[in-house]
Amino acid sequence: DAGVTQSPTHLIKTRGQQVTLRCSPKSGHDTVSWYQQALGQGPQFIFQYYEEEERQRGNFPDRFSGHQFPNYSSELNVNALLLGDSALYLCASTLLTGISEKLFFGSGTQLSVL
Amino acid sequence: DAKTTQPNSMESNEEEPVHLPCNHSTISGTDYIHWYRQLPSQGPEYVIHGLTSNVNNRMASLAIAEDRKSSTLILHRATLRDAAVYYCILMGQGGSEKLVFGKGTKLTVNP
């Protein structure tokens, strides 16, 4: 059983460009969350998708948007890239049961904005 | 979101037990205590979680204080592969499944 898979593993973009990151959740999971991790910091919650809808959102600007597909996979889009968007982007999946469930994380996409 | 306090770093020797403390004095009655760890160049990995009673699994043990204002993650015999950043996180009941990470404790394991 594959765990959470993310693509690409590394990406280099320039300021002002747009980027799309992809995530396939662990088999059987219906909820996908995205996190941003700057160097030396803990991951910060961006948003969470369930049933193809954004369920909750962290303190990130509208330049960050996402999508969840019927097969539960998800995309994270970032428009008008800034240098400060350089970070490790992590995807996490879980099965939403209403009881505090554990999350499974992918290895992340390392985004560098030049 | 309720906050947790952890030491920035700890050091241990291989094959010795490690006790990683976490304070969460503002914990609510329905908050679960979760521990995750992040090895270098990897995403966070679930370690253990609990509500009131002590918990054991193949990776670690979680000791929860009677008043629930603190907890301790116990690695019974540290190995070099346990060197990681350990995060103590409170997650509310009700299906939020949102993790609020602090800076965690960086554990160094000496051979």
Q: Which 3 state secondary structure label does DSSP give A24?
A: strand
Contact B69, B23 (CB under 8 A): yes
CA distance B49 to chain A (A): 8
**What is the per-residue DSSP string for B25-88?**
TT--TTPEEEEEEE-TTS--EEEEEESSS-EE-SS-EEEE-TTSSEEEEEESS--GGG-EEEEE
pLDDT digits over B61-89, tens only? 999 999 999 999 999 999 999 999 999 99
Kindly calculate the radius of gyration of chain A based on its CA atoms and give it in whole angstroms: 13
How many angstroms separate the CA atoms of B36 and B39, rounded?
Answer: 10
Residue in chain A nearest B105 by alpha carbon = A42
Q: What's the mean pLDDT in A20-43?
A: 94
Q: Is B106 on the interface with A (CB under 8 A)?
A: no
> Are B93 and A100 an interchain contact pair (Cβ–Cβ within 8 Å)?
yes
pLDDT band at B95 (very low <50, low <70, confident <90, very high): low
> Are B97 and A105 an interchain contact pair (Cβ–Cβ within 8 Å)?
no
Query: Mean pLDDT lowest for which of A20-24, A88-92, A97-101, B103-107?
Result: A97-101
How many angstroms separate the CA atoms of B72 and B10, rounded?
Answer: 13
